[in-house]
Each structure stands twice: as C-alpha cells, then as structure tokens.
C-alpha cells in the first residue's frame, strides 16, 4: 500500500505489485494507468486487473497485446468516459509501443454476477481507440480468464467480486462463438478487413484463437495460445504450417493466409459441433 500525493489536499491509496510483470515498461504503464483511473473514477473504481498472455506466461513483445479489465460500481457516464478516453490517449503518447496494443473493457460489478452477456454497451479499448460496444460470446470466456488467472493491480481480488465460471460454460460459449461469429467469416470476402485493425494481425489472431477453442473442448485447464497451438499441431499435423505462420507473425509483417484460415474455421467446427 502506497500514498500518492496528487495535490496538497489529496492523498490516493493504491495497491500495485512491485513487479507485476517481467517487463519494466509494462509495469510503468500499468502503474500510470492505475493512478489515472483512481484519480478520474475515485470511489466508483472497484478494481483494475490484467489478464491474457501476461498471466499465462507466453507473452510475446513482438505480437501480444496487454489485456486488462476495469470494474466500477456504476456504469461510466459521459463525463467520466471522456476523462478515461483522454487518459488512454495520454498513456498511448507515453508508451507509443503499446498505444495500439492495449486492449480491455470497463464493466460494472453488477455485470459480473451474470453468465449472460450484458445487453448494455461498455467502454472498450483496442487499436488505440475507445468505443462503446456490447459484449458477445467472449463475455463468459473473459470472465473465466479473469477469475482463473486475473492479476490485481488495484482493488479487490476477482474472487471477491464474482462467482466462479465453469469450463463447461466456457465450452458452450465457444461453440456459440464458432457458429455466430466465426462461421459467417467463411463466405465473407472482407472477413479480415477492418480499417481499425491490421489484416495480418486479424489473421494471426484468428488462427491461434481457433486453436484455443479446439483445445478447450478436450482439456479442463486454462490454455495459452502457445499451449493450445502446440497441442493442435501435434494432434492435427495438417494444420502445422498455418499455425506456425500465425505463431511467428510480428507487427509489421504480412500474413496472407485468408483462404487457409477459412478452411481451418470449417475444420474446427466439424470437430466440436
């Protein structure tokens, strides 16, 4: 517990591990973001967490994102939204390497009590921008990651503010995700085209995410993309070349595997439907 003076009249209490990750610049980023959230959200802030590959142990500086989640008492209103948006712009200027690779959501504690995706929009940060999006099937998957592996930067432990999520619930959500979100991409010529995202990044993400969906249908543990990819390559060697290309992809490199990824989508669906 530290005391951080923001003004001669104000002291903010905050909690942050001394070295939450092995990367000094990411630790500094998380600390700056934590302090900014406390300043802008005040008593409405319940917790600030990081998840994803930083917690699974296979973070890759060349390709991975910094995944986070912020939990608040009440939905963020327009005034606070603008403040937080400005905070993220400032963080992006301070840490340009991570400007477009900081990805996370702002949810309320009430939302965390439901296994159904919230019907209201939440602030969502990705690709250097902040939007208002409604959750899809990734909701229960993200909850599972938070409860199982989430690391606390500020506030309450995830275990204190939400109920456990079962692997069976995650599997069902993954199946729905395949049918509702991934299957339509098979016949969509623009499936990996988005003005806010790099097409090669979307392709690499798709291939490795599909590996995780396939892996979790047969395993109960929390799988990183690295673990899932290794298992799929061993179990289904016909997809080894595609998966290795996705694994070796780095920001700034071209990946032209749209056709193969669409075939992989169909293959994964055939294995777990």
Structure tokens at 258: 């749209």
Chain mean pLDDT for the chain: 91
- DSSP assignment of 12-69: EEE---SSSSS-HHHHHHHHHHHHHHHHHHGGGEEEEEEETHHHHT---TTT--EEEE
Residues of the chain with pLDDT > 90, as a percent, come to 83
User: Across the strands, what pairs with 69?
Assistant: 49, 105
Would you say residue 9 has pLDDT above 60?
A: no
- Whole-number Å distance between alpha carbons of 243 and 234: 11
- Whole-number Å distance between alpha carbons of 193 and 239: 23
Average pLDDT score over residue span 202-224? 92
- Whole-number Å distance between alpha carbons of 13 and 5: 9
Average pLDDT score over residue span 39-64? 93
- The domain 2-161 is placed in CATH, from the list 3.30.360.10, 3.40.50.12780, 3.30.460.10, 3.40.50.2300, at 3.30.460.10
pTM of the predicted protein model: 0.86
Structure tokens at 134: 């409604």
Residue bearing the bigger pLDDT, 197 or 10: 197
Helix-helix angle 199-216:258-272, to 10 degrees: 20
Would you say residue 260 has pLDDT above 70?
A: yes
Q: Which of 105-114, 117-126, 189-198, 237-246 has the lowest mean pLDDT?
A: 189-198
Residues of the chain with pLDDT > 70, as a percent, come to 93
Q: Domain coordinates of the chain in residue numbers?
A: 2-161, 167-272
- Whole-number Å distance between alpha carbons of 146 and 86: 25
The predicted pLDDT at position 5 comes to 38
The predicted pLDDT at position 15 comes to 55
- DSSP assignment of 105-131: EEEETTGGG-SSPPSS-EEEEETTEEE
Would you say residue 16 has pLDDT above 70?
A: no
Closest among 99, 67, 111, 70 to 209, alpha carbons compared: 67
Structure tokens at 119: 């019907």
């Amino acid at each position: 517990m530290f005391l951080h003076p923001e003004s001669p009249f104000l002291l903010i209490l905050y909690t942050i591990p001394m070295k939450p990750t092995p990367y000094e610049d990411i630790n500094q980023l998380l600390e700056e973001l934590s302090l900014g959230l406390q300043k802008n959200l005040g008593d409405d802030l319940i917790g600030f967490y990081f998840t994803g590959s930083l917690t699974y142990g296979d973070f890759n500086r060349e390709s991975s994102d910094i995944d986070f989640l912020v939990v608040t008492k009440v939905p963020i209103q327009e005034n606070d939204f603008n403040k937080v948006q400005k905070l993220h712009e400032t963080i992006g200027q301070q840490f340009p390497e991570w400007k477009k690779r900081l990805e996370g959501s702002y949810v309320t504690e009430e939302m965390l009590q439901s296994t159904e995706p919230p019907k209201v929009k939440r602030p969502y940060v990705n690709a250097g921008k902040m939007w208002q999006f409604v959750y899809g099937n990734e909701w229960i998957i993200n909850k599972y990651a938070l409860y199982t592996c989430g690391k606390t930067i500020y506030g309450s432990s995830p275990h204190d503010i939400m109920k456990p999520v079962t692997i069976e619930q995650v599997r069902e959500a993954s199946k729905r995700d395949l049918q509702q979100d991934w299957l339509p991409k098979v016949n969509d010529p623009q499936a990996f085209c988005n003005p806010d995202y790099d097409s090669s990044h979307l392709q690499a993400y798709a291939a490795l995410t599909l590996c995780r969906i396939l892996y979790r249908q047969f395993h109960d543990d929390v799988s990183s993309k690295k673990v899932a990819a290794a298992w799929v390559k061993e179990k289904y060697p016909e997809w080894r070349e595609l998966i290795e290309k996705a694994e070796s992809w780095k920001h700034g490199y071209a990946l032209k595997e749209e056709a193969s990824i669409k075939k992989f989508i169909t293959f994964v669906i055939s294995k777990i439907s």
